[in-house]
Amino acid sequence: MRRKLIAGNWKMNGSLSGNQALLNGIKEEIGQANCDVAVCVPAPYLAQCRDSLSATLIGWGGQDLSVHESGAYTGEVSASMLRDFGAKYVIVGHSERRSYHGESDDAVAAKTARALRSGLVPIVCVGELLSEREAGQTAAVVGRQLDAVMAVLSADDLANIVIAYEPVWAIGTGKTATPDMAQEVHALLRKRLAAKSPAAAEKVQILYGGSMKPDNAADLLRMADIDGGLIGGAALKASDFLAIIRAAS
């Protein structure tokens, strides 16, 4: 039985004072969550997470990392910098990075390998555009995105990633994939993992992301291959995030 993971993606939101109120609200009410919990925050707030969350079971992480180890790459944040601040996770290949920053499947794969080499758990995002779903290309698109990552990882490394299936048309739109629609894609992703490593397929947490909210979380999280959620908007309100954590526990 895989443990569930609820990971918040704060995107480019927050302030020192606002974050503190949010983190305090989560810490005060989380109790004995029976699932893994993390927040993926803008890099300047990693130190705040370290200071605020170190004594808790809540992990923290970045939202992107450089493919390079170090050097003349102005504006980039390296895997070892994330590790310096105690990050456990890093989101890789979010659709906003793919679309606004032109991240290719190969770049996402290289970043995934870089994260693993540095001891981070990459949360690798895959997902189709609305036009691709309507053209019946969902399986081909997410399969291609996952294949690029699998091509650069050993079977052992593959077991140490997290995958987030995030249909792009559901992110921040209030439109959610139905539990059956999501389960179909999750099962397909797990089957693809199994072709390379049955052990990795059994172990890898596959999260759903895309307008997961307190009122739809339980139905999604009940599906056999949905091992948690990557939560955007609802991660910015302690009561919503906690309600999703409870649904996963």
Known binding residues: 9-11, 172, 211, 232-233
Contact between 183 and ligand PEP by CB under 6 A: the answer reads no
Measured from the CB atom, the residue of 103 and 166 that comes closer to ligand PEP is 166
Q: Three-state SS for 45? A: helix
- CA neighbours within 13 Å on the CB side: how many for 16? 4
Exactly one of 96, 128, 166, 186 is catalytic; name it. 166
Q: Using CB under 6 A, which of 63, 182, 232, 245 touches ligand PEP? A: 232
Contact between 211 and ligand PEP by CB under 6 A: the answer reads yes
Contact between 14 and ligand PEP by CB under 6 A: the answer reads no
Measured from the CB atom, the residue of 87 and 157 that comes closer to ligand PEP is 87
- State yes or no: is 69 an active-site residue: no
Which amino acid appears at position 76 of this protein? E
- State yes or no: is 166 an active-site residue: yes
Structure tokens at 177: 């994939």
DSSP β-ladder status, 89-92 and 5-9: unpaired
The CA distances from residue 244 to 60, 196, 216, in Å, are 17, 32, 9
Min dist. Cβ of residue 49 to ligand PEP (A)? 18
Contact between 40 and ligand PEP by CB under 6 A: the answer reads no
Contact between 233 and ligand PEP by CB under 6 A: the answer reads yes
Going by the annotation, the residues of the binding site for substrate are 9-11, 172, 211, 232-233
Measured from the CB atom, the residue of 116 and 171 that comes closer to ligand PEP is 171
CA 144/CA 123 separation, integer angstroms:
17
Exactly one of 94, 96, 128, 186 is catalytic; name it. 94
Please name the residues in contact with 85: beta carbons below 8 A apart, sequence gap of 6 or more. 46, 47, 49, 50
Q: CA-CA-CA-CA torsion for 79, 84, 86, 88, nearest 10 degrees?
A: 10
Measured from the CB atom, the residue of 65 and 171 that comes closer to ligand PEP is 171
Q: Using CB under 6 A, which of 9, 52, 197, 216 touches ligand PEP? A: 9
Stretch that binds ligand PEP, among 23-31, 78-86, 134-142, 229-237 (CB under 6 A): 229-237
DSSP β-ladder status, 89-92 and 58-62: parallel
Interacting residue ranges for ligand PEP, rule: CB under 6 A: 9, 11, 166, 171-172, 209-212, 230-234
Active site residues: 94, 166
